[in-house]
Amino acid sequence: MEYIRARDGAEIPMRVFGPEGDGVPLVMLHGLRSHSGWFVQSAGFIASLGHPVYSFDRRGSGLSKQTRGHTNGWGEIVDEVHAVVTHAAQRYGRSSVHVLGHCFGAIPVAGFACRHPDRVASLILPTPGVHTRVTLTPLERAQIAFLRFARPLHRIAVALEAEDLADLEPDRQFIKDDPLSLHELTARFYFEIFLARRFLKRNLPRLTTPLFMALAGRDRISDNERNTAFFDNAPSENKRLRVYPDATHILEFSREKEAFFHDLANWLGNGYNRSTKCGV
């Protein structure tokens, strides 16, 4: 574990894998309910390829000491991405690093890539939460719009079950038993998700970095059709889309883990530098 500070002084806990590696570093951000401890398999695998990995806990998640399940603005999370990217890049004398965002984590890392494309060697989005099937009712949306000012710390349940996240029973049990798993978000956090998605929609033409998107064929959380359209409309010259038909959501908690890891290794092994566009 290492700790650095975000621009506002908040402490960022990071799990560091393979710090002795000499490849391009990779910064990893977890999803909505999870934290960096859920993704030690992929982080360890990427580190085994020679890429130092900096997997951090978003504010209010995992080992973070900030208000649980809360952010004052989605830009705070982008600032955390910026801080970790800067730390990793400076440590290894690099101008850019790979940035990976699982599920919800895809939103702030893609926002970072839109704002700072020169800092991103490639953008990796496994089962991205840019578009999801999980929706709020009109009443819930109205409540969030009101409560973000009146009661910004009002807590609302995260409607993500272990069966929606993982294929295999041991992984589902791990999720159920994890004391650091996030079960509620504040009204302000929910509203900031809306603002972040609106930013991505408006700034998609700025997403020019090499892009690898990985989708789970049986995903009940991510909206594969709309995320594929997001991929297709991104102006990246070098991009690759892979679909793993038997996976439910988290790819390293699926029967498709080895196939996903194989494609990750191919991408990081300079696949992102190829001049030809790669399809499904």
Cα(172)–Cα(177) distance, integer angstroms: 9
**Residue at token pair 């530098």:** 273
- Along the 280 residues of the chain, how does pLDDT read in single tens digits? 999 999 999 999 999 999 999 999 999 999 999 999 999 999 999 999 999 999 999 999 999 999 999 999 999 999 999 999 999 999 999 999 999 999 999 999 999 999 999 999 999 999 999 999 977 778 888 889 999 999 999 999 898 999 999 999 999 999 999 999 999 999 999 999 999 999 999 999 999 999 999 999 999 999 999 999 999 999 999 999 999 999 999 999 999 999 999 999 999 998 787 544 444 4
Work out the end-to-end distance of the chain between its first and last CA atoms, rounded to an integer number of angstroms: 37
Report residue 48: phi and psi, to 5°.
-65, -20
User: Is the alpha carbon torsion for 19, 21, 60, 251 positive or negative?
Assistant: negative
Cα(115)–Cα(177) distance, integer angstroms: 37
Give which of 247, 209, 40, 13 is closest to 116, Cα–Cα. 209
pLDDT value of residue 275: 42
pLDDT value of residue 274: 56
DSSP annotation of 95: S
Strands (E), 105-200: 120-126, 155-157, 184-186
Q: Which amino acid is at 60?
A: G
- ∠77-82-87 over CA atoms, to 5°? 130
Q: Which residues pair with 27 in a beta bridge?
A: 54, 99
| CB-CB contact of 81 with 10 (8 Å) | no
**Domain range annotation of the chain:** 2-273
Give which of 211, 53, 33, 201 is closest to 121, Cα–Cα. 211
DSSP annotation of 19: T
Neighbours of 228 (CB within 10 A): 16
pLDDT value of residue 27: 98
Cα(72)–Cα(53) distance, integer angstroms: 27
- ∠105-215-165 over CA atoms, to 5°? 65
Q: Which CATH class is domain 2-273?
A: alpha beta
Cα(28)–Cα(135) distance, integer angstroms: 26
Q: How many residues does the chain have?
A: 280
